Amino acid sequence: MLAQSPPPLAQRTAQTDLPLDGPRADMLLPEVRLAIAVDPENRSISGEARYLVEARETLESLAFDLDPRFRISSIRIGQRTLENSEWANPDGLLGIALDTPLAEGASTHVFIAWEGAPHIALNPPWEGGFVWERTPSGEPWIATAVQGEGCDLFWPCIDHSSSRIGVIDTLVTVPDGLIAAGNGALIETRDHGDGTITFHWRARDPSNYGVSLQIGPYQMASRDYHSRFGNIIPIRFWHLPESKDGAHRLVAEMATYLDFFEARIGPYPFADEKAGVAETPHLGMEHQTINAYGNRFRRDPLGYDWLLQHEFAHEWFANQLTNATISHMWLHEGIGQWMQPLYLEWARGRMLHDAEMWRIRQRLHNRVPLVSRDGTLPDYNDQDSGWGTDIYYKGAWVMHSLRFLVGDDVLFPALTRLTYGTNNPQPGEIAPVLRTTDDFRAILEDMTGDDLAWFFDAYFYRAALPRLIAKREGRWLDLRWETPSDHDFAMPLELQTDGELRRIAMPDGSARVDLGDADTHFLIDPHNRILRYDEAIDETD
């Protein structure tokens, strides 16, 4: 029986992470072999995919997501080729009939062949799809960027954050003179003698949107990084010939990123494959082990390449730690964004950290919650809601305030546990984890012994920022938090008086402080550690 009542085509193909139901919810993909031939002149692709499908529960049928602009030429289950009447894909949900149910725990091989002209990205990477460009010397320069729209824009997949592939072999065939930089480790290249060459890559545990095609007349800059964990990590940067100097500079910079992330969070998760980058015609994207980079090697007065550092952060916060649903996307973007001021603090000092936090603070919208309680979210690109911005910048500022609340000795070990599922991750023993905001709360509560419902409700499930009401009467200062939350907002405050810095506890959301003298000058939150409403910022257009 085929899946019934799928979402309309415009919705299915335009948005990833739609509800995981029907056969898609009960299909595991331990192995995928994805072969794609790319025709730059006609802007088309043809593909053949072989899947090992394992049933989580008994399956009456199978289902994959695939943009229906492609023509499916063949589907095979085991050794049997299906008749056209045994499958249908009019709406982007490819339903495949089974002769007999696939029992729980059983597996079968599925083969799908398709071809066509993929959707062209309108504004990559924000509005994604295929990118067909030319290098400055006129050669084909091709990339995919499908985070918001999903892997189904160019191959049959289960388009949901929670669906990971055990091992994927990606075989990309391109015209001679081009190189396809891919996910994972390069297994072989095969020259067919007919003007085409195939690049065979193998990756473990990739996220669906992290599977990518990045193709051009590339050269490679490389070095090996000797990790503090005792292993060696290959750094590889595929770049256009005219970008040689910039690529070699950034390869050296990437070694500092590795040092920082491994010191702060833990071992690089994909050291057995590579830390890879490919120069692309669009700005960037966190494709697992082959990040897209299009920042044009511009130097920055902060002393680092913000784009490359941000995308590399996603190897930990997106590719290793993956949000269980798109509702928790701040775990990718907010924590990843926060890694930038943290890196500046580590590499260049506190002043640059504070300068970056101040820049970020001015970009918050606070119109909708960071996390939806019912899974209903505004569109990422909806400028009115600002959700697609707040998951970065508000998420980063929530982490900044959380650092003040619990301290480094709690927060960074908590991030390690959140990211790896263990307190002591070791190279060779790392597998990706799916996480929600509640998972983070549970870890922090376990480590602190405190109930943090008040913090998570106010910052993640409410749009408006907490407001601090301060009223002075002579030597007395009355402080009170106001939030839309039903919980008392128990955020403590730092108070500076005549050179003395005090931490003021506010367990019920209020406090009365003796300033000692009616003329005492005071300053609340002098280091700007708490995310709260600020009229000077939040009332400025």
Annotated binding site: 310, 314, 333
CB 257 within 8 A of CB 309: yes
CA distances (Å), origin 112, targets 2, 50, 182, 208: 17, 7, 21, 17
CA distances (Å), origin 295, targets 53, 218, 252, 284, 307: 39, 16, 16, 8, 7
Task: Provide the sign of the torsion angle of the four alpha carbons 402, 408, 411, 412, taken in this order.
Answer: positive
Residue 311 annotated as catalytic: yes
Peptide bond into 425 cis (omega under 30): no
What's the rounded Cα separation, in Å, for the pair 229 and 409? Answer: 20
Please tell me which residue in 273, 311, 315, 356 is annotated as part of the active site: 311
Helix residue ranges per DSSP H, 407-452:
408-420, 437-448
Q: Give strand pairing partners of 434.
A: 322
Task: Provide the sign of the torsion angle of the four alpha carbons 29, 34, 40, 41, taken in this order.
Answer: negative
Strand 196-204 and strand 165-175: pairing?
antiparallel
Please tell me which residue in 218, 392, 393, 420 is annotated as part of the active site: 392
What's the rounded Cα separation, in Å, for the pair 52 and 61? Answer: 15
Return the ∠ at Cα 374 (arms to 318 and 68), rounded to 5°: 65
275-279 β-sheet, strand order: 219-226, 232-239, 275-279, 291-293, 284-285
What's the rounded Cα separation, in Å, for the pair 220 and 522? Answer: 57
Residue 392 annotated as catalytic: yes
SS3 at position 328: helix
Q: What is the CA radius of gyration of the chain?
A: 25
Specify binding-site residues for Zn(2+). 310, 314, 333
Could you give the residue numbers annotated as active site?
Answer: 311, 392
